[in-house]
Amino acid sequence: MRRRQFDCIARLGDLHRRAVRAARRVARDQGVSLYLVGGTVRDILLGKRPTDLDLMIEGDPEQFARAMAGLLRADWRYEPRFLTACIFIEGEPIDISRARRETYARPGALPQVFPACAAEDLMRRDFSVNAMAVCLAGPDRGRALDPCGGCRDVRAGILRVLHERSLTDDPTRILRGIRLAARLGFSFDAATRRLASAAIRSGIVRRVSADRIRQEIFLLLKEPDPAAALSLGKRIRLTDAILPGLSSGRRLSDALARAREYGRLVPERDRREILLLCVLAFSAQPIEAARCLGLSGSALDAVKVMSKARRSLARRLTRARPSAVVRVLDALPLQVVIALASAARSQRIREQMVQYLKRWRSVKPKITGDDLLRLGFAEGAALGAALRAARDAQLDGKATTRKQQMLVALARLRRYPARGSPMQRSI
């Protein structure tokens, strides 16, 4: 690792290099030691450009972040409970942590943290490949820290916990482990796999708050191949505890890829819910799985709607006309439609649903309510039904012109009294 330590900054992207320059200046001004740490060092050793920048200091993180944000004209926030801060440069988060040690009041609880030196901090981390640092400023500038053999494990492609209680102290490390293993193509070493299996069998995962598990799942769904991570989780029976009844494999992988594609049709804030719904569509017990993740309110309602709809969808859409497809799918929340379209087994049904998402749901008739009002018809439900009939005829290719759609609407209204003569001859 020492041979590579001097080119680590060169491997960073422009924004991260700018952040490091500012951090070094603040570290010199405040007389504190600054380290590049964790996953950033790991990715550099793998020859990758890090997507995240993790910095560690032996000093006051609030004071450090305030000064660094001032230099960069950036927003920032401080979390005193964990001695961490985050600076946002052009929307990109830069994590800063105080070197610390931690204790756990009970298995699965959030840790209590206390200031410590850099070497102690590395010893409390999750896996050896994340327990490396390079000093960027301070008396040890240029020195690489690797007390747990992380560099060796990077070369071997293994994930190894640092002590026997690691996965019972914080069971979310198992989720982080399968996420990291899938991303890097690594595997758990034998001892870590044994400890993970023992922790899962003990039921300790269920003692972690649903909110923490849900946030880890959302992070997993941001991975390039989340289905690979879920398959790893299934092999060690982790998904039995947090996503009961999950069926993983190639079909789930393909469905999640489609969910990402179709998700571009909705605002970005809704896309992670679509991915989660897509995963739950592959569970034999989607409502129970949703409750394990702490879903409630509209999110849980969406799972219930999806669970009910998927049982009848194939029957209702097979050989259905476009207008019938629209009527069925308009009754469902859009995120549910996207999740079900992504997970559909039948290519024919999936194609219908994609047509709905991309074209049919946006179709409007060429006539309006004003056109019918001018002919003497009164406002009300009958007017809406007439416009829907015109739209149905347009979707089904039976009335493509304005005149044809007007005739369809008038036929639908023929039983209702008008304020005056419809004057059908005028069209």
Domains of the chain: which residue ranges?
2-151, 157-242, 244-362, 369-426
Task: Please say if the pLDDT value at position 279 is more than 90.
Answer: yes
The mean pLDDT value for 221-225 works out to 94
Architecture of domain 2-151: 2-Layer Sandwich (3.30)
Long-range contacts of 84-92 (CB under 8 A, 24+ apart): 85/61, 87/19, 89/15, 89/18, 89/19, 90/15, 92/15
The mean pLDDT value for 401-427 works out to 69
Task: Please say if the pLDDT value at position 5 is more than 60.
Answer: no
- The Cα 45–Cα 178 span in angstroms is 20
The predicted pLDDT at position 37 comes to 96
108-122, 223-237, 410-424: least confidently modelled range: 410-424
The predicted pLDDT at position 417 comes to 53
Kindly state the percentage of the chain with pLDDT values over 70: 95
User: Which residues, 6+ apart, have CB-to-CB distance to 273 below 8 Å?
Assistant: 299, 302, 335
The predicted pLDDT at position 413 comes to 84
The predicted pLDDT at position 239 comes to 94
- The Cα 58–Cα 33 span in angstroms is 5
The mean pLDDT value for 13-24 works out to 95
The mean pLDDT value for 278-297 works out to 95
Per-residue pLDDT band at 375 (split at 50, 70, 90): confident
The mean pLDDT value for 79-83 works out to 95
**Across all residues in the chain, what is the average pLDDT?**
91
Architecture of domain 157-242: Orthogonal Bundle (1.10)
The mean pLDDT value for 319-348 works out to 95
The pair of structure tokens assigned to 197 is 């299996």
Per-residue pLDDT band at 219 (split at 50, 70, 90): very high
Task: Please say if the pLDDT value at position 105 is more than 90.
Answer: no
| Per-residue pLDDT reduced to its tens digit, 136-170 | 999 999 899 999 999 999 999 999 999 999 999 99
Segments in 204-281 forming alpha helices (H) = 210-221, 226-235, 238-242, 250-262, 271-280
The mean pLDDT value for 211-231 works out to 95
The predicted pLDDT at position 3 comes to 42
Per-residue pLDDT band at 327 (split at 50, 70, 90): very high
The predicted pLDDT at position 190 comes to 96
357-371, 387-401, 409-423: least confidently modelled range: 409-423
The predicted pLDDT at position 166 comes to 94
Going by C-alpha positions, the residue among 345, 314, 200, 296 that lies closest to residue 287 is 296
For 421, list phi and psi in degrees, rounded to 5.
-75, 130
The mean pLDDT value for 237-251 works out to 93
The predicted pLDDT at position 110 comes to 86
Per-residue pLDDT band at 382 (split at 50, 70, 90): confident
The pair of structure tokens assigned to 45 is 């050793």
The mean pLDDT value for 233-250 works out to 93
Give the three-state DSSP class for 248. coil
Q: What is the pTM of this model?
A: 0.86
The predicted pLDDT at position 381 comes to 78
The predicted pLDDT at position 7 comes to 64
Per-residue pLDDT band at 350 (split at 50, 70, 90): very high
The predicted pLDDT at position 398 comes to 94
The predicted pLDDT at position 380 comes to 78
Task: Please say if the pLDDT value at position 421 is more than 70.
Answer: no
